[in-house]
Each structure stands twice: as structure tokens, then as C-alpha cells.
Chains A and B, each alone.
Chain A
Amino acid sequence: MTETGSERQHDRDQALRTREDLDRKIFYLRTLLDTSTELAGIVQPQKMLDTFLLMTMGPLGITTGLAGLVNVRLGSGHITSRGLEPADLETVRVNIPAIGLRYFTEAGTAENLTSRTRTIAREGLGVTRLFPSPVQTLFLWDLSGEYAGFLALGEKLTNRPLDDGDEELLLNLIQILKGAMNHALSVLNIQQLNAELLKKNQELEEAMGELNASREELDRRVFHLKTLSDLSSELSPLLDMDRLLRTFLMISMGALGVGQGFVIVQDRKARKVRSSAVGPVHEPVLDGHGCEQLIYQAFDACEIKSLAPGTVSRMGELSFLRQHGIEIDVELAFFFVIDASFMGVFALGPNILASLYSREEVELIVTQISSFMVYLQNARAFETIGALNEDLTRRNEELRQTIADLTEARHRITLLERARAHLRSLVQQEVERVGRPGLLDCALILLLATAIGVLFNLAAPQGIPLVPETLLRQRSATVNPQSAMRLAEEGVAVLVDARPKELYDQKHIRGAVNIPISLFDIMYMMKLSQVDSESPIVVYGRHVSRRYDEELAFRLKQRDHENVRILEGGLQAWEAEGYPVQ
């Protein structure tokens, strides 16, 4: 502030100036109060700058003013002006980063940034041209943190430069602005922090929601895994297909709270159909053809038509199931393929809550069916192994029987070979025996000849007695040669030679008559018919083979000759006595 005037006028004017000073001070103080009041309720920096600029230019009578708030770190800020061309305002707005760089960084100024306010006159601005030409005075200040501000003022209406009072007022106003701005920035920071806090809270809530969802998902997966574990532990020891179906059905229905269910599988290779049903339904009885038709329709109703092994496909159209006697209100049905020849259908009725099946439940069922298919395949493999074992056992039995038969046959062959060898030896012996005579043969021939001869002789009319009849007859009376000789000499007795004529011709007792047995009748008539029956007749003639004398004596007795005697010793005794022969 410049003081002018003479010393004389000093006293007179002293009072006036004092008064003016006081008025100005009052005015300034009022201005400061008003500004402070106006800025107290404002929190937005832009509005605060507007109000500050208005409250600054008005009391000082300045026509052109520019106020700004710069974020030094970001190079951005708020700016407001009065009485400045829009182009100039735009220029300043564009230059905000440069202003921050020029005046509020250590590199841009030799002075350290402090909390104090600096004043730069027009002449100090010429080099940068960051501010338009109307700007005569620039006030710079910094705030706490990264913010700083500036106030650029043009000339007063009075075209007088700013005096010390004006500058003090402005500095005080700037101080008020700084306080209000700090407050506002603090409020804004708090609001920003609050907003961030709210955002964080929101994010936290979202995270909690996600966490809860994850926990629910985890619980659901745990439940699924437990269900699958229970299913596995229940199904793993089962190898019987029917029990497997029944157990799977019960566990699946229990896990989902379903009262009705049905499962059927068809093994085309083994030509077997197996099914199980639970609930108030009649278990359908399907033959191979019916099941084939059911499987085909189920495949046709699938959402995904695939016959790849391990496929589980949900069926869309379910009404055809009733045509096959499946009297269930089927809500959910699946077609599954174990392999090209082993397929099945799994159907479930409504659950207890009568609600639709959730996606998770459908996934659980699909997983259960996938596990179930593994056990089905195992059971079928076991059945196949069982069948193979049975077949093997049967074949073993057949083999054992065959071996037994072969052993028996070998034994028989051995026996036959022995018999053959025995027969060969017999034949050999026989052949050898043929080559030599045998006593047995001779005996057999004799025996045969005897038997035939005897039988023939008995039957033939010309048969002869086996032994001579004379052997069986009573012996005739005999006479010794002496008596016979005497009787012959006396002419009492007749000597008869009974031998054949040939023997008689060879030698006979003198005077003896020859009567051969073979010619008895003729010779008797010729030679003895005249002999008295009481006359003694001495008969002789026998040898080792014949006893002619006995035979002849017998026949003579038959002709009533009572005194027939046989010569003792015969012709030999006669000769021995020396009696005459001829």
C-alpha cells in the first residue's frame, strides 16, 4: 500500500484515512465473514470455486477472474471464471496439467511447496503464457495432499493495482477458501471413502453370496458324492443282475425321494430281459420282442441319439412307456447304452414334493446311471464267466467221462488183445496140432464110431447082439474025452463038429458030423434028423473067437435033443488023448 500526501494534510487526512481504513477493514471483515459463511455450506469444489470467485471479485471490483483447483498428481482439476472469454477459459482448461507442472511441482519452481500462498504479478507470468492476458495477478496456494489451487485476477474497475489491503483481503479469502476447500475435500474424501466402503461392502456381500452359492454347490456335490459312494458300496458286492437292478432302483429313488421307479435292461447277445419296479405298479412282463420295441422307442425318444458305449440320454417323449405296461407317472426317464448289445431304460415317477427335477438332480441321476452301468457290465461279465465256468465244468466232466471211456476202452482193448493173443496161441496150437496126430482125436473117432455103430446096429434090422448070446446062456453039460470016446465006440453017441466047413476039412475027430451054425437047418435035416432025441450028442468046436459048440448045443436042445454034451477041451483035448482025428 502506497502512502501519498504531505505532512500537512497528514493530520487532516489522517482521520479520514483512519476512517476509510476502518471502513475498509469492516468491509473486508464483512466480506470475509460473508465468504466464510457462503463457503461453509458448500462441499462441491466447482461450486465452491464459483462462489469464492464471485465473493472475491465483487468486493474488490475486479472484472475478470479465474479460479482453479488442480490435482497435481493426476494433472486434472476444476476451473471457473468470470469475465473471461470462453476461448481463454478453454485455453486455461487445456493448460491445467502444465499449470500443475509449472507451479506446483518441485521441478517447476525453485520454491518448495508449502502451505503458504504465493503471489505472482503479471510481469512474472509472461514467459509461460499459461494464463490469458487479462490476468494481472496470480495467487497460488496448495492444499493438503495432492491438491493445489490458483486464483488469477484481472484489473480492477478503477484500473488501480491491488494495494496491500486488497492483497491481504485476498490472502485471507484464500485462507478461508483453503480451509473450506480442505473441509470440502475432506468431506469428499470421506464421501469417496464411504462410497468405496459401500462398494467394498457390496462386493463383500456379493462375495458372501458367491461363497454361500459355492458352499451350497459343495454341499450338493458332497451329497452327490456320498450318494454315489453309497451306491458304489451297495452295488459293488452284488453280482446277481436282478439284485443289482433292485438295489440300484431303491438307492436312486431313496436319494431323490421318489416313490415310483422302473428299470429294465436287455442283453441281446444272451437274449435276456431283466427288469425291476418299485412303487404301486405292476411289474411289467416284457418278452424279448416287447423289450426290443421298448428299447427302440426309448432310443427314438432320446434328446441325444447315440449308441456309443456309456451313453446316458434323457428321453423327451415318455407316453409310449404306458403301452408297454409301465403304469408309472413317469416324470423322468433315461435311455442308457452299456454296449451295442446291452441297453436299458430307467424311469422315475414324481418326487415326494411333486416338484420338477432340478438340473443337479438330473446330473446326479446321470452319474448314478453311469456308475450303475459299470456294475451292470461287471455283473454281465460275471455271468459270462459263470456260464463259461459251467461250460468248462461240463466240458471237464465230458472230458473226464471220455477219459474214463478211453481207459475202459483201453482196458477192453488190452483184454481183447490178450484174448486175441490167447486165441492166436490156441489157433497156433491147433495148427500145430493139426500137423500131428492126437490121441484125443483117435479117442474121439473111436467114441464117435462106437456111438454111431451101436445106435445104427440097434436100429438096423440086420443088427447083431453086442455080446454073443452064448455068453449069457446057461452052460451046457460037458463030457470028457474019455467018456465021449467010449460013447462013440459004443455007437451010442453022435459026435458033431460045429465049426465052419473050412476048419472041419482041415482036421476033425474021426466019425464026427459037421454041422456049421450058418448051415444048421439044412445040415441038421440031412444028418441028425434021424437021431433019437434021447441019444447022446457030443458037440465040439470052439476057438478064441467063437464057441460054436455052445451055440450048436443050444440049437439042438431047441430041437428037443435032451442029451447034448459038449466035449471038454474040444479037439485039442481029444487029440491030446491020442484019439483018432481025420
Chain B
Amino acid sequence: MTTSGDRAVRIFGHRYLALVLRIYLGSIFIYASMYKISYPLEFAENIASYQIVPYWAVNLMAIVMPWTELICGILLVVGLRSKSAVCMIGGMLVLFIVAISLALVRNIPIGCGCFHSMEEPMTWTTLLRDFVWLAMAVHVYTFDSALQLERRFLIQIKDE
């Protein structure tokens, strides 16, 4: 029992699992940023629809956020500054969760705007999905150590 439990813990906390989740999260964010970068006006409308961001900051956020997602996604995939990147991704997921939660609580009939503007209205499932992604981010933050470009390079210098 203990052995299987330890094995489960070991598998759960395995660095390659964290690597897979890291690449997955990074890919998700890269993919999500593509549409938002291509259609900033629609994304601005999505942001505005949440009725959280002040109206003067909506456009700026619509311009900056997709690029932030893209850069963090790339950093996660290549394993460069992955801790900071996963933190920012986690922060954005928390922000999304808060926004979605508020929207759901306030019953604002909007799509989440995560990937496309023409989405179905968000539901609690959307919120759960974001929680799952947040859990993945926490896992990556905790257990990720494999195939980190930066760490690999620095450790080589350190070992000389």
C-alpha cells in the first residue's frame, strides 16, 4: 500500500510528467495567443465584455496580453525562465478564473474569449477547465526540471 502510494507519488511528481504538462500549457497559450494577436479588436471586445477592466485600459490590455501569452508559452515550451513563465501563466489563469467567476456570478452572457470570439457562452465547465490548467501550472512550477534549456546551459558552466 505504501509502496504503491509512493509509486503514485513518484509518478505524479515525476519531472517528465511536469515536462509534458509544461509543453501542453505552453502550446495552449501559444495557440490561444494566435487568434488574439490576429484580431485585437475582437479580443478587446471580449475583455470589455467582462466589465472588469476600465474602459481606457481595454485596448492596451488587448494588445499586450496576447503577446504575453505567446512569450510565456514559448518560454514554457523551450524551458527558458520556465518558473517565471509558469508563474505568469498561473497569474493569468487566476485572472481568467476571477473574471469568469465574476461573469458567471453576475450572469453576464458572454463567451469566455479564450480561443475565439465566436464561442458559446461560458459555463462553469469553462471555470473548471481553467482550474485544471491552474493545477497543471502549479505542477509544472513544483516538479519541472527536465529539458530546461537555461538550466542545462548554466549547469554546464557551473560544472567546469
Contact = CB atoms under 8 A, between A and B. Distances in A.
A431 B58 contact: no
A453 B151 contact: no
B63 A466 contact: yes
A545 B87 contact: no
Given A431-B154, A448-B71, A462-B40, A441 B81 contact: yes
Contact of B40 (A436, A457, A471, A500): A457
Interface stretch (A26-34, A285-293, A422-430): A422-430
Q: Give the interface centre of A423, A435, A437, A505 by most chain B CB atoms within 10 Å.
A: A437
B34 to A, nearest CB: 13
Contacts of B72: 445
Given A462-B40, A468-B56, A471-B56, A500 B49 contact: yes
B112 to A, nearest CB: 14
B55 A468 contact: yes
Contacts of B158: 424, 427-428, 431
B48 interface: yes
A392 interface: no
B62 interface: yes
A436 B55 contact: no
A438 interface: yes
A434 B81 contact: yes
B60 A545 contact: no
A16 to B, nearest CB: 180
A207 to B, nearest CB: 108
Nearest to B107: A506
A18 B73 CA distance: 206
B68 A467 contact: no
B31 interface: no
B55 A464 contact: no
Q: Which of B50, B54, B157 has the most CB of A within 10 A?
A: B157
Contacts of A468: 55-56, 58-59
A494 to B, nearest CB: 25
B95 interface: no
B82 to A, nearest CB: 8
A465 B60 CA distance: 8
Interface residues of A, number: 45
Contact of A431 (B49, B55, B155): B155
Contacts of A424: 158
* Residue of B67, B71, B85, B108 contacting most chain A CB atoms (<10 Å): B67
Contacts of B58: 468, 545-546
Contact of A446 (B37, B51, B68, B83): B68
Given A424-B158, A441-B84, A450 B64 contact: yes
B50 A502 contact: no
Given A427-B158, A502-B109, A545-B49, A449 B83 contact: no
Nearest to B38: A462
Interface of B is mostly: helix
A211 interface: no
B40 A430 contact: no
A448 B88 CA distance: 14
Contacts of B49: 500, 545
B40 A464 contact: yes
A448 B59 CA distance: 17
Contact of B51 (A460, A465, A544): A544
A545 B48 contact: yes
B53 A545 contact: yes
A38 to B, nearest CB: 151
A467 B39 CA distance: 16
A449 B75 CA distance: 13
A261 to B, nearest CB: 79
A120 interface: no
A269 interface: no
A371 B83 CA distance: 97
A122 interface: no
B44 A445 contact: no
Contact of B64 (A449, A462, A467, A502): A449
A545 B67 contact: no
B14 to A, nearest CB: 18
A445 B58 CA distance: 19
A466 B67 contact: no
A516 B129 CA distance: 31
B27 to A, nearest CB: 18
A449 B67 contact: yes
B26 interface: no
A466 to B, nearest CB: 6
Contact of A545 (B37, B50, B85, B141): B50
A371 B40 CA distance: 114
A506 B39 contact: no
A456 interface: yes
B59 A464 contact: yes
B40 to A, nearest CB: 5
A457 B85 CA distance: 23
B101 interface: no
B42 to A, nearest CB: 9
Interface in A448-491: 448-450, 452-454, 456-457, 460, 462-468, 470-471
Interface in A492-550: 500, 502-503, 505-506, 518, 542-547
A434 B47 contact: no
25 contacts: A424-B158, A427-B154, A427-B158, A428-B158, A431-B154, A435-B83, A437-B87, A438-B81, A438-B83, A442-B87, A445-B85, A446-B64, A450-B67, A452-B71, A454-B63, A456-B37, A457-B40, A468-B56, A500-B49, A502-B110, A503-B109, A544-B54, A545-B48, A545-B55, A546-B55
Given A423-B157, A464-B63, A468-B59, 15 more contacts: A424-B158, A430-B154, A431-B151, A431-B154, A431-B158, A441-B85, A445-B72, A448-B71, A449-B64, A449-B71, A452-B71, A454-B63, A464-B40, A545-B51, A546-B58
Interface of B: 37-41, 44-45, 47-56, 58-60, 62-68, 70-72, 75, 81, 83-88, 107-110, 141, 148, 150-151, 154-155, 157-158
A-B interface, 7 closest residue pairs, ranked by CB to CB distance from nearest: A441-B84, A449-B67, A545-B48, A449-B68, A437-B87, A453-B67, A453-B63
Interface of A: 423-424, 427-428, 430-431, 434-438, 441-442, 445-446, 448-450, 452-454, 456-457, 460, 462-468, 470-471, 500, 502-503, 505-506, 518, 542-547
